[in-house]
Amino acid sequence: MTHSRTPSEKFVTQICAQSFLKLWTHPNPKGKKGKELCDCLIVCGPHIIIISVKENEYRNTGDKVGWERWTKAAIDKSASQIWGAERWLETVDEVLRHDGRVVALPHKSKRKYHRVSVSLGGRGEVPLKWGDFGNGFIHICDEYSVGIIFDILDTVTDFVDFLTASEELVSRGTKPLFMGGGIEDLLALYLSHGRSFNVTGDCGSLPDMLILHDDLWSGFSKSNDFKRIKNDLASSYGWDSLIEFYANDILTDGMFDMHSKAVTSNELALVAMALQPRGHRANLTEALIEFLEESERKIASRVVLGFDRTAFVFLAGSSSDRELRVRELALRCLVVRGRLPDVITVVGIATDRPETSEVGYSSDLGYIFMPEWSEQNEVDVIKIQSDLGYFKNAQWSKGSS
């Protein structure tokens, strides 16, 4: 049966695609017996974000009956859908999108579920339930907070880090009490403490309760600190554009394996790129642009450390001999893995420098994931550096951010 999406569901799908990018945003996926699983599913790396959207107009009855009716329709039903979706996902290895595309799920042992209810219609007049109602922690957004949360935490990693930190805050015994506001005020506290809930009471221990006034977000969003954060991250959206460029190739069968020459849907390199938080994306974007524009220095390649034990190799080379460029990219990625022992994932990006190609422009991606490093691997890297000189004179940092 075809599900007709409501304007609210379409809006949530749109902001998810903007924040988490289209390759990992799946509206109205199919669940058991082909029925709708949830309103939007995000699958990226180990993370599975289940989003349910419910909209019910609140009617003030003058007593708690109106609250209870709205809560049952907008929150309880949403929670039931989320828990049901999670139970079903635990029985399968892939999900079918509404458009027929198959979405592979991470291995069951590595999955990290995150549950989000977008509960609309309360207009800020109804106290929102929030937390673990018995089958896993559910984060509640209303019409005031949904745009803020998805706009500010607009990468998968930034988003799930906030959700996880909120859950850990509660699990440690601190209960947030919202005084007329919602999750946006909790976000303000989180951001103002350096993306953490490092808050302590007078005796140095975590408080039993956090009273969150409804002007926290309003005040923080107008502060100089917030303006500085936004300004510092402005360049990061170039990284999003690069990911979307490659993602479009995958979605239109325009990405090819250089060895088999066949169309590929391998997205491992893109997942590693998409899991970079907003701050790291700013650094990566600026480093890539600087590298491509510094043609006078004749630097062939550059390495930039990323998030989660990941490094990125940028290589400038002509499209006139892509096979040679791809081979060099692969070998340089291997050298980086060997010379940065804290790094286990290396993504390579090779392309022409601007205004240098006489045969058109192209781009290549490389990816290696090597948790273990053998003696033979070390022998190979020593030979590569001896014979080809790749990163032979580089000064290697021993840590990864």
Contacts (Cβ under 8 Å, ≥6 apart) of 246: 255, 269, 270, 273, 363, 365
More confident residue, 326 or 318: 326
Delimit the domains of the chain by residue range: 7-230, 235-388
Q: Which of 400, 380, 182 is nearest to 272 (CA)?
A: 400
Residue 347 pLDDT class (50, 70, 90 cuts): very high
Contact 184, 149 (CB under 8 A): yes
The predicted-structure confidence for 252-281, as pLDDT tens digits, reads as follows 887 777 777 777 778 999 999 999 999 999
Q: Which of 76, 146, 86, 150 is nearest to 115 (CA)?
A: 86
What confidence score (pLDDT) does residue 358 get?
Answer: 63
Give the lowest-confidence range in 80-94, 220-234, 295-309: 295-309
Q: H or E segment at 171? A: helix 156-171
Answer whether residue 332 shows pLDDT above 90: yes
Question: Tokens in use for 199?
Answer: 């808050």
What confidence score (pLDDT) does residue 294 get?
Answer: 80
3-class secondary structure, 79: helix
What confidence score (pLDDT) does residue 278 get?
Answer: 98
What confidence score (pLDDT) does residue 401 get?
Answer: 35
The predicted-structure confidence for 59-106, as pLDDT tens digits, reads as follows 888 888 988 999 999 999 999 999 999 999 999 999 999 899 999 999
3-class secondary structure, 4: coil
Give the Cα separation of 5 and 28 in Å (integer). 8
Q: What is the DSSP string of 90-108?
A: TT-SEEE-TTS-EEEPPPG
| Average pLDDT in the chain | 91
Residue 123 pLDDT class (50, 70, 90 cuts): confident
Question: Tokens in use for 149?
Answer: 């949360």
Give the Cα separation of 37 and 325 in Å (integer). 44
What confidence score (pLDDT) does residue 77 get?
Answer: 95
Q: Which of 268, 253, 242, 256 is nearest to 104 (CA)?
A: 268
What confidence score (pLDDT) does residue 246 get?
Answer: 94
Residue 400 pLDDT class (50, 70, 90 cuts): very low
What confidence score (pLDDT) does residue 2 get?
Answer: 52
Answer whether residue 30 shows pLDDT above 60: yes
Give the Cα separation of 120 and 143 in Å (integer). 6
More confident residue, 306 or 122: 306
Percent of the chain topping pLDDT 90? 69
- The whole model's pTM is what? 0.93
The predicted-structure confidence for 124-158, as pLDDT tens digits, reads as follows 888 888 889 889 999 999 999 999 999 999 999 99
